[in-house]
Amino acid sequence: MNMTVQYEPNALFFLQNNNINVPNFTNQLQQFLNQNGQNINPNGGNMQFNFNNQNYQVNYGAVNNNVFMVNQIV
């Protein structure tokens, strides 16, 4: 599965506000999604994602046309 990661404004703000490198986070999240696509709920949900030894909860919306829309990161 080849997913495209996009962010709602508040999710992007979270990354920028916490000095997280957005392209690196996006690339690693895309790789994770491509390897774990069977675990993605097509109707949306949340999942744990480890980036730079830090765990994040990624909340996402319904997946349309392989676009993974990140609603919120906590």
8 Å CB contact between 31 and 25: no
| pTM (two decimals) | 0.92
Report pLDDT for 3.
87
| Tens-digit pLDDT profile for residues 44-58 | 999 999 999 999 999
Measured in residues, the chain has a length of 74
DSSP 26: H
Buried b (16+ CB within 10 A) or exposed e, 15-29: beeeeeeeeebbebb
